[in-house]
Structure 1
Amino acid sequence: MAVRTSPKWWVRFPLAALSGLLAGFAALAVAELVSAAVRPESGPIVAVGGAAIDRTPAPVKDFAIRHFGENDKLILQLGILATLAALAVVLGLIALRYRRPGSAGVLLFGVVGAGAAISRPDSTGIADALPSIVGAVVAAVLLYWLIGRLTTPAATSDAGTGAGWDRRGFLIAATAAAVASAGAGTLGRHLNDMRGQNAVASRTALKLPAPASPAAPVAAGAQLKIPGISPFTTPNNAFYRVDTALVIPKVDATTWRLRIHGKGVTRPLTLSFQDLLGRKLIERDITITCVSNEVGGPYIGNARWIGVRVADLLREAGVKPPSQGGPADQLVARSVDAMTIGSPVEDVMDGRDAMLALGMNGQPLPFVHGFPVRMVVPGLYGYVSACKWIQDIELTTFDAYDAYWVKRTWAKKGPIKTESRIDTPKPFARPKAGTVMIAGVAWAQHRGIDRVEVRIDDGPWNLADLAAQDTTDTWRQWSYPWKATAGGHTLTVRATDLTGQTQTEKRTSTIPDGASGWHSVFITVT
């Protein structure tokens, strides 16, 4: 009589591990499908990732931005997936020996995902827990079923006697699970994408009106024709992005509303997008900078923004700046994903072109840059001014409330420091001896650049040639023709703003109020 024996350990263990992975895949796929009925942000990867971002120490976040740039969120999500895959393998192996406890262990991860979802600042309540819970239950049942196929006796060809394991049953079950999970995940992703179609349609239909106060033409000579230098205007698709959103909010401009309220507000306002379009629009070239920008870093860009002055709206709401006796010294902007950004009221009402921006470089704001409305404040780092996807402005005090980044050890106020950067030649470049053009950008938003100096090795400082100054709110290009000699050389740059403040040599990290120091590059002249 032929008897099928149990598979050897080198067969059982990989199949048990595969069972765990299939269960994990099913959990995420089902959660994606359920999140389509709740909201995309309630999915476990997004919820756990968001919770991880909120709880990550500021130096670690700064490290991630510095080393991974705009891929920091992708790296986080891949890390979460890798961790879940490893845990799924472990649970599959446990279930091989302890079928019920191993399968039940999957439910614990559903609890973790559910807890993360409902703990998020933008949580809509208990419904946000459903994707993680339903996904975990399905995964637990699936793991129990698959492991059962590894341990269930298989019928023999003689008299129906059974022994060993159900190879055919396992293969059918595993294949069916994989196909069903892929289908559920694909459908869930499609439905989640469809949720944003109204937002996409509202942006597509938007035609920005001509501003009542247009930007002056860019000053002649503001853009140097030097290969390798940053363009004066940064294209939208090249503009830096630093935020905490794992899912880019897609907000329908036709249903969007902005509320202005709080301390010192005598006439609270609720404004629609059309209300903003109907007000006096201004258009300005403004350079914005992220506080996570290291010396010589890429997180800075210049764009032509169109929007409504924040000061006009605040005055309409009855707000007075502290210098005029107003009781509120902090404006807290809240986004649709519950990010909070605190700005000094005095700064946004002191005459600078602080605005609620609706457009960027002649187009409606891209979704990644805050459509339908975001804040832009010249002279302040983004973490205290550049709230994307804004929906609420509350007037309060710095003593009464700490915004998101301030709670994570960043300074309450973030004026941009005077800085400069060498764009060309790049670090470790190997130019030929002769005239080498050193060029880059310098910035001191809302103060302006007065001069830029370049030093070769430990030699004297040499005045660079400045491009035309467009406005004090934009960066300024500079160049210096250098008679390069063979060998290794260190090139260093520093800038002085129009207040007479020279960029400091002292190196500091980005925490708590922005990096400082001179930017240097080492090259080898051949």
Structure 2
Amino acid sequence: MSVRLESPPRPAGVGMTTRASSAWAALAGVVSVTAFLASAEAVAWVTGAGGSPLFGVGSAAIDLAPAAVKNLMVSLFGTGDKVALFVLMGVLLVAITAGAGVLEHRRPPGGKIVFGIGGVVALVAVLTRADSTSLDGAPTAVGTVVSLVVLTALMTRLHRWEASTEPGWAAATVPEPPLRGPGLERRGFLVMAIAVGAASVVVGTGARLVNATRANVGALRDALTLPAPAQAAPAVPAGASLDVEGITPYVTPNADFYRIDTALQVPSIDPAEWSLRIHGLVDREIEISFDELLALPLEEHYATLSCVSNEVGGDLIGTALWLGYPIRALLERAGPQSGADMVLSTSSDGFTAGTPLSVLVDDGTDAILAVGMNGEPLPQQHGFPVRMVVPGLFGYVSATKWVVDLEVTRFADTEGYWTPRGWDALGPVKLESRIDTPKAGASVDAGRVPIAGVAWHPHTGVSGVEVRIDGGAWVAAELAESVSADTWVQWVHRWDATPGDHTVQVRATGADGVTQSETPLPPAPNGAEGWDEHTITVR
């Protein structure tokens, strides 16, 4: 007996209520999308993990999102923005496919059209990724076909179930074989829905875990031994860390270092296959391998990096000890040509950042191609095997992770990823300060209470920090030592607290004599400002 791909029209006068039939049709749509995802992941196990439609669509969503949406996601969820995106995608998938199921039930083949359009969108998203291959479209194509077959089969069983609930069902006109009665027809629909759904969860989860494990280069990273630096960083002064409970450590552990980037799936790059190409407006094109990079005289530098999306008083910032090779030395070998003023760096996943050439060739700026972080190879999520570190610039114009290409060019000729989305092209880090302790809303004992935190103005330095209680006079805080102007500095003010509710504010002054602005500004387009935005209340 042949299987028809067309859903049969709904028989007139069925006994099942409209609400109930719509609910079961919605379930059929959701089960069909789980079959789509599971079969796609299973095929991706054969063709390559990069073909996953879930990651393809998610990456496309990140790329197409306006700056305001991206900033909202980061401000709401911080480093959990990607988890939030997956949750949002899941909710939308359930809503859309449930609706497609209802549409297919009431107005066939409307649901199939929705699934077909979704498959085309996912296919375009996968194939337009920067690192896509010719085989990456196969998982989406197979998943789309499977979802259409499952949707058709479930709708056929649902219509048979409905017809069997009609009075006089034995005489109803339905596709062969004959109806078996309401109980058996209901069981046929539910058994298929549960079996396909459960199998999809098992197969899809298993395939995703296998794909993630196969693409994981953690073992290669763990086996890597970095060379000793030719130029070691100066020791952190004993006075750089204040003995205050709750204050941010001077050096941020790798596990606590913030992560904000556009990579929905962390790139997995075998160091043996990595290379960096320097080209464009240069006298000599250069290509360097990972082994060649490690053979160069590497340098250590402490540097504080921060995200342009960081709100005043936010935690999207961290300080680490970086090991790498000066970018200016490689650029000198390439020989930038007259008129060039920008270096466009590209990640393995297609992200780009435009960095001023003048900053990268400046002898006073320790801009490096980093291979190490806090004494070990870069963590995979922070750019393994190689990333850029440029003190004094926000990450979106300088700190390209998984970097594979440097093009010497002009700002007039090209733009980095975020610039056409409304962000400033230059991205210098602004002077900021933050209260770490006590926390906003905290209750403290009356008496001597340390108010402490950090302040930063990378590449310029901080010369002073002041604290104000209840809108009174500004009082100078004690400033700790630091390795260099490229890192943040801890500060503390020992406050004689009195009973009651109090407001606390902080502001910093840079080594250039400029005091932190009071006027509030949002992160877009070039970083947040306004110490008044970071007012906390303690009791």
In the other structure, the counterpart of 2:124 is 115
Residue-by-residue CA offset, 1:426-481 (whole Å, 9 max, x unaligned): 11111121111111111111111111111112211111111013211110111111
Corresponding position of 2:35 = 26
Q: Which amino acid aligns with 1:247?
A: Q
Identify the residue that residue 196 of structure 1 maps to in structure 2: 215
Q: 1:95 aligns with which of 99, 104, 121?
A: 104
Task: Name the CA distance, whole Å, in 2 between partners of 1:40 and 1:517.
Answer: 44
SS of 1:74's equivalent in the other structure is helix
Aligned-residue offset at 1:161: 6.3
Matches within 5 A, 1:117-132: 117-125=126-134, 127-132=135-140
For residues 111 and 315 of structure 2, the distance between their equivalents in structure 1, rounded to whole angstroms, comes to: 48
Match of 1:290 among 307, 318, 322: 307
Which of 511, 516, 534 is 1:503 aligned to?
A: 516
Q: Distance in 1 between matches of 2:362 and 2:115?
A: 56
Q: Report the residue type matching 1:475 in the other structure.
A: W
Counterpart position of 2:7: none
> 2:143 is matched with which residue?
135
Tell me if the contact between 1:286 and 1:305 (Cα under 8 Å) persists in the aligned partners. yes
Alignment match, 1:524: 538
SS of residue paired to 2:238? coil
Deviation at 1:120, TM superposition (A): 3.2
The verdict on how the C-alpha distance between 1:162 and 1:453 changes in structure 2, with shifts beyond 3 A counting, is closer
Shift of 1:97: 3.3
Counterpart residue number, 1:327: 339
Paired residues in the alignment total 510
Runs of at least 5 residues in structure 2 that lack an aligned partner in the other structure: 1-13, 171-176
- The one-letter code sitting in structure 1 at the alignment partner of 2:187 is R
Q: CA deviation at 1:18?
A: 1.7
The TM-score with structure 2 as length reference comes to: 0.90
SS in 1 for 2:271: coil
Which 10-residue stretch deviates more, 217-226 or 111-120? 111-120
Counterpart residue number, 1:82 = 91
Summarize deviations over 1:292-320 as a string: whole Å, max 9, x none. 11111101100000011101111122236
CA distance in structure 2 between the aligned counterparts of 1:175 and 1:516, rounded to whole angstroms: 54
Name the CA distance, whole Å, in 2 between partners of 1:384 and 1:12: 54
Report if aligned partners of 1:291, 1:515 keep a CA contact under 8 Å in 2: yes
Q: How many angstroms apart in 2 are the aligned matches of 1:372 and 1:119?
A: 24
1:439 has 2:452 as partner: yes
Distance 1:522 1:395 in 2: 45
Distance in 2, matches of 1:161 and 1:235, equals 68
C-alpha deviations, 1:346-388, integer Å up to 9, x for none? 1111111100000100111001100000000011111111000
Aligned partner of residue 501 in structure 1, secondary structure = coil
SS across alignment from 2:30: helix
Paired residue for 1:146?
A: 154
| Distance in 2 (alpha carbons) for counterparts of 1:90 and 1:488 | 52
Matched, 1:207 2:225: yes
Indicate how the Cα distance of structure 1 residues 161 and 196 shifts in structure 2: closer, same or farther if over 3 A, else same: closer
Could you tell me how far apart the structure 2 residues matched to 1:316 and 1:34 are? 45
Moved more, 26-35 or 381-390: 26-35
- Per-residue CA deviation, residues 118-145 of structure 1 (Å, 9 max, x unaligned), is 23344435x4333222211111111111
Whether the 8 Å CA contact 1:464–1:480 is kept in 2: the answer is: yes
2:6 counterpart residue number: none
Tell me how far apart the structure 2 counterparts of residues 220 and 406 of structure 1 sit (CA, whole Å): 41
Which of 396, 406, 415 in structure 2 is aligned with 1:402? 415
Q: Partner of 2:8 in structure 1?
A: none
1:239 lines up with 2:257 in the alignment: yes
Give SS of 1:16's match.
helix
Match runs of 1:339-378 below 5 Å? 339-351=351-363, 352-378=365-391
Alpha carbons of structure 1 residues 497 and 101: separation in structure 2 relative to 1, 3 Å: closer
Q: Aligned pair in 2 of structure 1 residues 104, 459: CA closer, same or farther (>3 Å)?
A: closer
Matches within 5 A, 1:458-469: 458-469=471-482
Aligned to 2:10: none
Once structures 1 and 2 are overlaid, which stretch shifts more, 40-49 or 327-336?
Answer: 40-49
Residue 271 of structure 2 corresponds to 253
- Shift in Å, 1:8: 4.6
The CA deviation string for residues 244-275 of structure 1, in whole angstroms up to 9 with x for no partner, is: 11101111111111111110x22211111111
Q: Is the 8 A contact 2:461 2:486 kept in 1?
A: yes
Candidates 54, 60, 67, aligned match of 1:58 = 67
**What do you get for the CA RMSD once the two structures are aligned?**
2.0
The one-letter amino acid paired with 2:371 is: L
Task: Give the CA deviation at 1:513.
Answer: 1.1
TM-score norm. by structure 1 comes to: 0.93
The letter of the residue matching 1:451 is G
- 1:104 offset after TM fit, Å? 4.2
Q: Distance in 2 between matches of 1:8 and 1:514?
A: 56
1:471 aligns with 2:490: no
Contact 2:100–2:110 (Cα < 8 Å) also in 1: no
**Aligned-residue offset at 1:105:** 3.3
Does structure 2 retain, via aligned residues, the 8 Å contact 1:422–1:493? yes
The CA distance in 2 between the partners of 1:231 and 1:408, in whole Å, is: 34
Structure 2 CA distance for partners of 1:484 and 1:194, relative to 1, 3 Å: closer
Give the conservation status (yes or no) of the 8 Å contact 1:234–1:301: yes
C-alpha distance in structure 2 between counterparts of 1:69 and 1:41, whole Å? 26
